[in-house]
Amino acid sequence: NASRSQDICIQNTSTDAATCRLSAVKKKYICDEYAQYFIKRASNLSPIMNRGTFCRFLAIQNTISNFLSALNASNDSACRPQILSLGTGFDTTYFLNTSLCQSAKFFEIDFPAITKKKKSIIQSNANLLKFFKNFSESGIDQVEINTDSYCIISGDLREFDTTIANKLLECGFDTKQPTLVISECVLIYLEAQYSNRIISWIDKHLLNVGFICYEQINPDDRFGQQMISILMERGINLPGIRSLPSLKSQEDRFITNYRWNYSKAVDLWEFYTSIDPKEISRISALEYLDEFEELKLLLEHYCFTVAYKCTNTYNQIFTKI
């Protein structure tokens, strides 16, 4: 039926994200030795796309590694930081952070079609498998992997509060531990009622929690309309963009309903202009970029939001933007 075929189109975006990542790795914009294992065919994407991926990677990965480093450095032996990644796809963040993950646990969620594929890739690759001392079946229905530091759960995010939350708890997710939630191009694919239910569960159950969200904004100008129609041609809708079309609406979702301590959204162009000039000169030497205005236009249609609420003990672990 129509909604199932829509879900399949949305699942395919996980390969798009992995393709973008690998293209930027190959051109040396970013370092990720694990990206190659999750995609069969590498493609060379345009310099604009590669710079976009570079920005996205930098924004998200810095926030994650700052969070894990701050908690590692705190020497609090009872602290077991958690990363909860919504719609993880073939993202490699866990593998990139294994040295910081000794005491942390990653929880990943995606549709079964994606999680099962990810599990089988990991199982058949010695360079990925080496991170797991004991890799056995989780023994829990819909849970593909569940080790001390890494857990992959199969499910539909639209059933977060009814099904997935229970699976998380069954797999050792501890609502008392400081947690960073990541949504990288994911909530935008859900109707607002579903993403609100996810955030509402998180707000209700967690005391020390950060949320990073990266997704499209500005659907109404010419570029935005074009971006949406290209996706629609591939059977992909972005229902979330209608209720969260702007930076302000992205910030407000954590403040108006939930009164979190901090919520800030920047567009990726603003983020790009704040990157260390040395890093910008390094990437500028990688490939010739002619269409600078086009890069600006593209980046203005993506938004990076960081929000958190926390008790005094943990007010240093989340990075402001």
Which single residue brings its beta carbon nearest to ligand SAM? Answer: 87
Give the shortest CB-221-to-ligand SAM separation in angstroms.
Answer: 22
Query: Does 87 appear as a known binding residue?
Result: yes
User: Any contact of residue 186 with ligand SAM (CB under 6 A)?
Assistant: yes
Query: What is the layout of strands, in order, in the sheet containing 150-154?
Result: 143-146, 150-154, 105-110, 82-86, 179-184, 209-216, 302-309, 262-267
- Which range, of 42-50, 88-96, 170-178, 303-311, touches ligand SAM by CB under 6 A? 88-96
Task: Single out the residue of 27, 51, 80, 158 in contact with ligand SAM (rule: CB under 6 A).
Answer: 158
What single DSSP character describes residue 318? S
Q: Which stretch binds ligand SAM (CB under 6 A): 107-115, 197-205, 238-246, 248-256?
A: 107-115
Q: What is the rounded CA–CA span in Å between residue 83 and residue 241?
A: 25
Q: Is 259 annotated as a binding residue?
A: no
Q: What residues are paired with 145 via a beta bridge?
A: 152
- 187 labelled ligand-binding: no
In the list 13, 23, 149, 250, the residue contacting ligand SAM (rule: CB under 6 A) is 13
What six digits make up the tokens of 112? 């079964």
Residues 15-54 close enough to bind ligand SAM by CB under 6 A: 17
Task: List Cβ neighbours of 126 (8 Å cut-off, separation of 6 or more).
Answer: none
Closer CB to ligand SAM, residue 89 or residue 224?
A: 89
| Residue (172 or 239) nearer to ligand SAM, CB | 239
Regarding beta strands 150-154 and 105-110, do their DSSP bridges make them parallel or antiparallel, or are they unpaired?
Answer: parallel
What are phi and psi for residue 130, nearest 5 degrees?
-60, -20
DSSP string, 167-181: HHHHTT--TTS-EEE
Which tokens sit at 280? Answer: 């910008």
Please report whether residue 213 would count as binding ligand SAM according to CB under 6 A: no
- The length of the chain, given as a count of residues: 321
Nearest to residue 296, comparing CAs of 270, 271, 267, 269?
A: 269
For the bound state, the minimum distance from the C-beta of residue 176 to ligand SAM, rounded and expressed in Å, comes to 26
Structure token pair of residue 286 = 């990688």
By CB under 6 A, residue 83 contacts ligand SAM: no
Compute the least distance from the CB of residue 103 to ligand SAM, in Å: 24
Query: Which residue, 177 or 183, is less far from ligand SAM as judged by CB?
Result: 183
Name the β-bridge partners of 150: 106
Interface with ligand SAM, residue 167, by CB under 6 A: no
| Residue 10 within binding range of ligand SAM, rule CB under 6 A | yes
Residue 41: CA count within 13 A, CB half-sphere:
3
* Size, binding site for ligand SAM by CB under 6 A: 20
Q: Residues comprising the binding site?
A: 56, 87, 156-157, 184
Q: Residues comprising the binding site for S-adenosyl-L-methionine?
A: 56, 87, 156-157, 184
Which residues would be at the binding site for ligand SAM (CB under 6 A)?
10-11, 13-14, 17, 87-89, 91, 110-111, 114, 156-158, 184-186, 189-190
